[in-house]
Amino acid sequence: MRSLIPEYLRYIFSKATRVTHQGIDSCQGSGRAPPRNAREFIRARTAVVAVEFAMIGAPFLLMVLEIFQSALFVYSSAMLDQAAQAAARKIMTGSVQNGSLTAAQFRTNLLCPQLPATMPCGNVIVNIRTFSEAAYPGGFYSFVNAAQTAILMPPLDNNQTAFCPGGSGQYVYLQIIYAMPLIGAVWLPAVTATFNGKTVKLVSAAAAFKNEPYQSSYTPPAGC
């Protein structure tokens, strides 16, 4: 079988000669001296690569950062929804009421242990309210905007939110917000918020349910 190596070497040499001639012509037209040897030619090509990377490197890294941040948002949403369902079950069965848990105890002892370590409890806001069956604008409609296109957000301060887990047979609305820190402020300002002086993305989870019948001497906290 005839070896193809000589033909391949001739092809490579012809391509290199063509590129070299083009480089000489361009250098003569610009007044610059052409590369005198292979080392100078490689250095010239390296400079071109550096310029090209400088042009596309920043957008590429920004895209990678955005993909990673979006994935983190999806992960946080799933974990928060899972924790909300577990916490809602504790309220529904009367465990929270019978345990006389305060808002802080509910958040730190019951809810936050359901979340991964990457979601600090200090960034979790809990809002629990009771409501009755009623037509618009009462009942559940009090938790949505006037156009009924979005759920109203509670204050981003646990000292200003409600903690009303409700008694036996009452309807309860549980709303949990997680202020997710941004890796880089690359999201549009319209979809971000400010929490403790930092730009964050709000991740939310909610559950509306009716408490099961349970025996308890539960007394609603003040304001419920």
User: Averaged in consecutive runs of 10 residues, what is the pLDDT profile of the chain (224 residues)?
Assistant: 51 51 48 54 57 71 81 94 95 91 94 94 96 80 84 91 92 95 66 86 93 82 79
Angle at 191 between CA 157 and CA 182, to 5 degrees: 70
Q: What is the pLDDT of residue 107?
A: 95
**Which pLDDT belongs to residue 136?**
76
Quote the CA–CA distance of 14 and 211 in Å, as a whole number: 82
Q: Which of 96, 76, 74 is nearest to 174 (CA)?
A: 96
Q: Domain ranges in the chain? A: 1-32, 76-210
- For Cα atoms 176, 179, 181, give the angle at the middle one, nearest 5 degrees: 155
Task: Decide if 106 contacts 126 (C-beta within 8 A).
Answer: yes
Q: What is the pLDDT of residue 114?
A: 94
Q: What pLDDT is recorded for position 6? A: 54
pLDDT at 134: 78
Question: What pLDDT is attached to residue 10?
Answer: 58
Position 19 scores a pLDDT of 45
